[in-house]
Amino acid sequence: MNMFSLTLEHMYIVFIAVAIAVVLGVFLGVIAYWIRYLDSIILWITEIIQTIPSLALLALLMIVFGLGNTTIIVGLVLYALMPIARNTYIGLQDVEPHLKDAARGMGMTKLQRLVKVELPLSFPLIFSGIKIATVNSLSVAVMGVLIGAGGLGFPVYRGIQTNSLTLILSGAIPVVLMALIFDYIMSRIERRLTLRASDGRK
């Protein structure tokens, strides 16, 4: 078993999933913000998805997407939607009303206000949603082995099955390290973004 290539594959699965989840999640967050009567439905659905046990969700997705990395990626995307969509929605709502008014006063259209004012100002919060989704996905991706995907799930599950601490750790340590590294880097970026955003608001 080559831990290095398993780690790379693990990271690849998570990266693709989070990238798709960012696009979908931000889109859903914006829709919830724009169309007020949809907000509770959208956020409710993303929260309901979170409560489905991972193996049950993956087994159901497997029927549609087959065995392999695609299924785990779809599963991770579904789980990652909640933190990203919710933070986008809250971030957009929390933009200071006078800034929104100013943008409106300058004659900006709805889309211009979103892209030029509201999204940039709520970006720190969106980013922290992405961070949560990334770290979560790293650990959920371990389940992928159960539907035939690659990554670090195989050593972890074999370790549990054969009661081998060495095997469990050989799979779990890279996951934890990746989570810590991503969390550290993204937290630093997040802090910088928050500082800049609060400067902008003063």
Partner 1 sequence: MKMKKWVILLMTLVIGLSMALSGCSGGDKITIGSKDFSESMILGEIFSQLIENRTDLSVDRRLNLGGTFVCFEAIKKGEIDIYAEYTGTALTAQLDMDVISDPDEAYRVVSEEFENQFDITWLEPLGLNNTYAIAVSNEVYEEYGIETYSDLATVSENLVFGGGYEFHDRADGFDGLTELYGMKFKGDPVKMEISLKYQAIGNGDIDVTDAFATDGPIRKYNLKVLEDDKGFFPPYYASPLVRNETLENYPELKDLLNELGGVIDDPTMIELNYLVDVEGQSIDSVAKDFLKSKGLI
Structure tokens at 58: 């993956």
DSSP one-letter code for 115: I
- Least separation in angstroms between residue 162's CB and partner 1 is 5
Judged by CB under 8 A, the chain residues 149 through 188 that form the site for partner 1 are 154, 157-158, 160-164
Q: Which residues, other chains included, contact 154 with Cβ-Cβ below 8 Å and sequence gap of 6+?
A: 1, 6, 145, 171
Q: Where are the alpha helices (DSSP H) in the chain?
A: 3-34, 36-51, 54-65, 69-94, 97-105, 110-112, 119-140, 153-162, 165-201
- Which residue from 59, 108, 169, 179 is in contact with partner 1, where contact means CB under 8 A? 59
- Least separation in angstroms between residue 68's CB and partner 1 is 8
Choose between 63 and 97: whose C-beta lies nearer to partner 1.
63
- Least separation in angstroms between residue 54's CB and partner 1 is 10
Binding mask 92-131 for partner 1 (x = CB under 8 A): ----------------------------------------
124 Cα distance to chain centroid: 14
62: contact with partner 1 by CB under 8 A: yes
Closest CA to 84 of 131, 49, 141: 131
Q: Quick check: helix, strand or coil at residue 155?
A: helix
Binding mask 131-150 for partner 1 (x = CB under 8 A): ------------x-xxxx--
Closest CA to 2 of 171, 173, 189: 171
2: contact with partner 1 by CB under 8 A: no
Binding residue count for partner 1, defined by CB under 8 A = 20
Q: Are 40 and 86 in contact (CB under 8 A)?
A: no
List residues near partner 1 by CB under 8 A. Answer: 55, 58-59, 62-63, 66-67, 143, 145-148, 154, 157-158, 160-164
